[in-house]
Amino acid sequence: MTDRVHAFTDDALGEHDAVALAALVRDGAVSPDELTRAALARADVVNPRLNAIAHRCPSPRPAPAEGGVWFGVPTFVKDNADVAGLPSCYGSAAITAHPAGKDDRFTAQLLSTGLTVLGKSTMPEFGFTSTTEFENGDPTRNPWDTGYTVGGSSGGSAALVAAGVVPVAHGNDGGGSLRIPAAIAGLVSLKPSRFRHLDNAQARQLPIKLVSEGVLSRSVRDQAAYYAAVETYWRNPKLPPIGTVEGPSTRKLRIGLLTTAANGSEPDAATLAAVTVTAKVLADAGHTIEPMTSPVPAGLVADFLLYWGFLAQMSGVTGKLSHGRSFDAARLETFTKGLAASFRRRLFATPGALYRLNRARADYDAVLTRYDAILSPVLTHTTPEIGYLNPGVPFAESIERVTNFVGYTPINNVTGSPSIAVPAGLTEAGLPVGVMLSGAYGGERTLLELGFLLEAQTPFPRIAAAATGS
């Protein structure tokens, strides 16, 4: 039996997105305090069953001044971005919670939108896997059915937005960590181009920057409003501006249809059906759809996993330096330790892997001279039950499960290209399925325009309606 959990009700938040709520605040129809109280009440209703909140603010932290486009709208920040006064534990029991002394650079950019912070959302250990589960602890559950994963690594934020606690929440994406939970929870999320946002010092020291920041939302217009807003705080002059996007473009595009992942994985029937339907919607709107093969070589998967293992190794080696003297590497989870060990076994392959990973951008860009966007699945198969991807599963088994599940999303992290996940309906079991549109470096505007088109032509499923059968 499906066990749906949501907090949508006739309070100050209603079923509004962030754009609508901010307009209500500006018009004086609702106050920021009313929105905050409603969100906290909703969290009290659903979080005992979802386990999506890592840390709560002792008292909500409002924006410092009016003027942000989302002034007064409540949110949660993922547990790997520093927020002054809250700990950053990265989903790891190896880290002892200590309040951050200040916001990091990206947090300041995020909060320039006027959002009110209520706390930090859950994530798996260091964001290394595609489920928000823990080897020794309760998982974060999917509001659409609590027996299933909500994905990862921005799983806590996805659960809170899908369940209606807040309209938007922060996440980031180093291998699909925004797009995976968005697809699983029936949400929208745009992973931007590399260097679109301000970075923290740690990210700037890495050989390859895989991670991009973003938000999860229930509407495309919240994504568009977010990117337009954060550009007013800081914009990378080396990237074209995204600007204000308010709907579909009239341009007719050439869109590649990618169904076979770089690692050779094929989508299951429900996932393929969702992509096929989406391709027809785009074709009916006048866009040209052409089947294509992966824009990067198959060997890139092994190179990505090697670099992922390098990050796991560094998490343990530099733990005390990064997270304090109380960091306890012995408490790292089986999956993290397995990733690190896999890197050590292939240590001497690292220079070649880094060369090929850096080269992948050129391969991808060459393909994107023929297409305006690429349509693909987000994941190779529909949502697994809690436990299937648990980080305590023996590493050889769990890494195979993860890589088979996450076949499409890492391409954009390696190449630095933008990619948006949008809902594409429900499975027979009533769980969301998402599809992904990817573009050329700096091409976020085109992806948002396509997102608006799909939202208009195939309205996104709503958990409240699904729960009542309406």
CATH code of the domain covering residue 451: 3.90.1300.10
Report the C-alpha gap between 336 and 315 in whole angstroms: 9
Tokens of 368: 């994107």
Question: Cα separation of 212 and 445, whole Å?
Answer: 16
Structural domain harbouring 417: 18-468
Is there a domain that residue 278 lies in?
Answer: yes
Considering the domain boundaries, does residue 2 fall inside one?
Answer: no
Give domain status of residue 8, yes or no: no
Q: Under a CB-based contact definition with an 8 Å cutoff, are residues 83 and 77 in contact?
A: yes
Tell whether 103 is covered by a domain. yes
User: Is 1 inside a domain boundary?
Assistant: no
> Hey, which residues are catalytic here?
78, 153, 177
Cα four-point dihedral sign 189, 458, 385, 271: negative
Q: Which residue stretches of the chain have pLDDT < 50?
A: none
Q: Are 365 and 442 in contact (CB under 8 A)?
A: no
Q: How far is residue 135's CA from residue 132's CA, in Å, rounded to a whole number?
A: 10
- 56 membership: H or E segment, kind and range: strand 53-61
Claim: this prediction has a pTM higher than 0.85: yes
> Is residue 25 a part of any domain in this protein?
yes
Strands lying side by side in the sheet with 288-292: 189-191, 419-426, 432-438, 373-377, 254-258, 288-292
Cα distance between residue 400 and residue 435, in whole Å: 22
Give a yes or no: residue 10 inside a domain: no
Residue type, 428: E
Q: Is 265 part of any domain? A: yes
Q: Are 316 and 217 in contact (CB under 8 A)?
A: no
Contacts of 21 (CB under 8 A, 6+ apart): 13, 30, 35, 70, 72, 73, 167
Interatomic CA distance for residues 363 and 347, integer angstroms: 25
Model pLDDT, residue 330: 97
Kindly give the residue spans of alpha helices, DSSP state H, lying in 51-152: 105-111
3-state secondary structure of 381: coil
Q: Return the pLDDT at 469.
A: 62
Which of helix, strand or coil describes residue 255? Answer: strand
Number of structural domains the chain divides into: 1
User: What is the Cα gyration radius of the chain?
Assistant: 20
Q: Give pLDDT, residue 10.
A: 98
Residue 470, pLDDT score: 56
> CB-based contacts of 414: which residues, under 8 Å, 6+ apart?
208, 210, 296, 300, 304, 357, 360, 361
In sequence order, the β-bridge partners of residue 254 are 288
